A and B are shown apart, each in its own frame.
Chain A
Amino acid sequence: MVSGLIMHKVGMTRIFGQDGEVIPVTLLKLSGGVVVGYKEVKGEKRVILAFDECKLKNIPKPIVGIIKKAGLDKGFRTLKEFALLNESELPPLGTKMSVDIFSVGELVDVTGISKGRGFQGVVKRWGFGGGPASHGSMSHRRPGSIGQKTEPGRVWKGKKMAGHMGMQTITIKNLQVVYVDKENEVIAVKGSVPGWIGGRIIVKKKKSGGKTQ
């Protein structure tokens, strides 16, 4: 069993839980997930999986070579290594991974690239309070002082200032899988997931097995 998959964000909806409570969920869809190679890193056996089906002519030649070597005739845009959780058997080349490696109730970590927000001020980017709104104040959304006097005589590194926000790799840990649809290759995780609709999301199983309390 592989330790994770690359999926795509489909969007959000809600479902009803066992006790009738409303659960907000994000749907994630798998595309591809075919074994095209193997690798061993520090004694850990890994499989190389190919994701994102597309036309063979639209992908780089080096990837075409790997896919051809695995004996496939479909194109895949993305390759990624994933560890094998039970090392005993290596899945043969061309094996299609399924979303049923995830089970309902399991906890997973998801990694994605957050939505880009462009150049933002300190109020939106870091949650600064801003200045007074009225009484002659002209410091509405300014950061205020950014340092001390001659000692240290400079601005600390890492000072929170305005700048480019979003478009960062963000990992959210311990999202619960609440629904698995094997037929459509869709799973639903509880809560929100970084990124835009159609964005690439890495879903990883927990090493501990991801048992819920």
Chain B
Amino acid sequence: MPSLKDKKYIINIEKNFLRNDLPEIRPGYVVKVWTKVKEKDKERLSAFEGIVISVRGSGIGKTFTVRNVISGVGVERIFPYHSPYIEKIEIIRKIPVRRAKLYYLRERKQSELFKE
């Protein structure tokens, strides 16, 4: 019986579900995430644009948080990076940041959100 302590078998299954067609995501990127939305029998695309304020997890559990201010209300969406429901991710800008988690942006107004 080989040791089950190593993650070999877990990684083996996970890799069947990983996406490698998506661009790399980092905190500070301004992105537009296109997701598939099911409506009865039809499927349409919906986009969410904003700044990536957090990337957490590794492997299949990796998620990223996108923040924007929409009609005066702060909105954050957490996407599983490897979800098959993500159609594509467009990277619009890359803002240089010095932190891994940009939670300080929650204190900022819309006009200051995408400042460098």
Decide: B9 and A27 in contact? CB cutoff 8 A: yes
Question: Smallest CB–CB gap between B14 and chain A, Å?
Answer: 6
Decide: A27 and B38 in contact? CB cutoff 8 A: no
Decide: B13 and A181 in contact? CB cutoff 8 A: yes
Chain A CB within 8 A of B83 CB: yes
Question: Smallest CB–CB gap between B34 and chain A, Å?
Answer: 14
Contacts of B103 in A (CB 8 A): none
- Closest-by-CB residue of A relative to B59 is A13
Decide: A20 and B84 in contact? CB cutoff 8 A: yes
Decide: A54 and B1 in contact? CB cutoff 8 A: yes
Decide: A186 and B13 in contact? CB cutoff 8 A: yes
Summarize A's interface: helix, strand, loop or mixed: strand
**Out of A16, A181, A197, which one reaches B5, CB within 8 Å?**
A197
Q: How far is the CA of A19 from the CA of B43 in the complex (A)?
A: 12
Decide: A29 and B9 in contact? CB cutoff 8 A: yes
Q: How far is the CA of A34 from the CA of B59 in the complex (A)?
A: 35
Chain B CB within 8 A of A90 CB: no
Q: A-side interface residues toward B, CB under 8 Å?
A: 8-11, 13-16, 19-20, 22, 25, 27, 29, 31, 52-54, 179, 181, 184, 186, 188, 197-198
Known pairs A8-B1, A15-B14. 17 more at Cβ < 8 A? A8-B4, A10-B4, A10-B9, A11-B4, A13-B14, A15-B16, A16-B83, A20-B85, A27-B9, A31-B1, A52-B1, A179-B13, A181-B13, A184-B9, A186-B13, A197-B5, A198-B4
